[in-house]
A = this chain, B = another copy of it.
Amino acid sequence: MATSTSFQAGTSSVVPIRVQDGRLELLDQRRIPDAIEYFDATELDEICFAIKSMIVRGAPAIGAAAALGLAFEAKRLVLSAAGRVDFFEKLERARDRLQATRPTAVNLSWDTDLVFRFAEKERNSQAPLDVLTGKMVEYAQWILVRYGETCKQIGEYGADLVGQSASILTHCNAGALAACGWGTALGVIRSAHRRGAQLTVFVDETRPRQQGSRLTTWELLADGITPTLVTDSMAGHLMANRKVDLVIVGADRIARNGDAANKIGTYTLAVVANAHKVPFYVAAPLSTIDPAIESGSQIPIEEREASEVTIINDKEICPPGVQVYNPAFDVTPANLITAFITESGVLRPPFHSAIEKALNARKLTP
């Protein structure tokens, strides 16, 4: 049984996803750094709301939370379903509802599919459903723990790239909060810091939801790294003044050719890094690769509500009548990416074959 300490973020004792007294609890990331509050996401309605409203966010964290949410829903379905056939039909609908909450990050579909298929193997067996659902919860917890372990592997490979001294720019939050533990992009920074590397870390504030200024700074401070916060538009100025040695970001979905969707603004950052010959790394677990899509043009880009842009701290910042365009992600083409940092090593171009090889080796069950 996973204990909450497995998912500790650096020196912080705060756990983004926890199973406690038979309930699924999510650290409410909307409230950080103001408050450390947990949201009870044990019911299907609640976990769906938590994902949509970004109480939980970050591709791996969404995937793990949804996997746990589906397993908890399965436990309830044992009590309410009219027999085995009905149980599996309702479980499938629950999976579909979870997968529809957010379209871009692939881990959500991937991890809920894993849990669903794990159960489905017993569709035509005689295995008691309460035993099966207990195993589903354990499997979903393995997915969660596994992300934390994966991130530490990513961290080690990334730390080799970073070396003993570097000035790093990161965008959004690809830390313990987003990735169930150590973090992907922040996992690399964390691992390099633990090795004693001298780091300057520039953090993009990441409008509109400010995951950089609210979450990434908070995680880095907890680890004893003093971040330097900048607005998103400063990247070009920083690089023109040679203040950035490398960029590291996470990813929400990676196509077979290496095109990568990530938080809006990542593409702009990649273009600017390319113009200044600054290496641009994407740190992500292999489960963020979507084997079903060949290129980034097939990745659906979520558009979110206008109020994310127009309201800050409960107050409208612009006059009434303004239209807003608010895509939550963008796609960085593979040719702007120097390398992917994954749990099975650093993948370099040509990405298509490197990704193919890594996918074939990935481990789906304990």
Contacts and interface: CB of A to CB of B under 8 A. Distances in A.
A210 B317 contact: yes
What interface size band does chain A fall in? 35 or more
Counted per complex, copies of this chain come to 2
A197 B61 CA distance: 47
A236 B274 CA distance: 13
A268 B268 contact: yes
Contact of A312 (B33, B265, B271, B312): B312
A349 interface: no
A325 B228 contact: yes
Contacts of A82: none
B207 A323 contact: no
Contacts of A206: 233
A268 to B, nearest CB: 3
A231 B318 contact: no
Given A237-B327, A330-B240, A205 B268 contact: no
A267 B241 CA distance: 12
A229 B327 contact: no
A324 interface: yes
Given A214-B318, A231-B232, A275 B271 contact: yes
Nearest to A218: B319
A313 interface: yes
Contacts of A279: none
Q: Is the interface of A mostly helix, strand, loop or mixed?
A: mixed
Contacts of A221: 319, 321-322
A331 B272 CA distance: 14
A207 B234 CA distance: 10
Interface string A221-239: 1000011111111111110
A153 interface: no
B322 A233 contact: no
B322 A229 contact: yes
A225 to B, nearest CB: 10
Given A213-B310, A268-B272, A318-B214, A207 B229 contact: no
A310 B229 contact: yes
A231 B312 contact: no
Interface in A27-49: 33
Nearest to A204: B233
A217 B318 contact: yes
A236 B269 CA distance: 8
Contacts of A312: 312-313, 317
A194 B218 CA distance: 49
A230 B322 CA distance: 10
Nearest to A201: B323
A157 interface: no
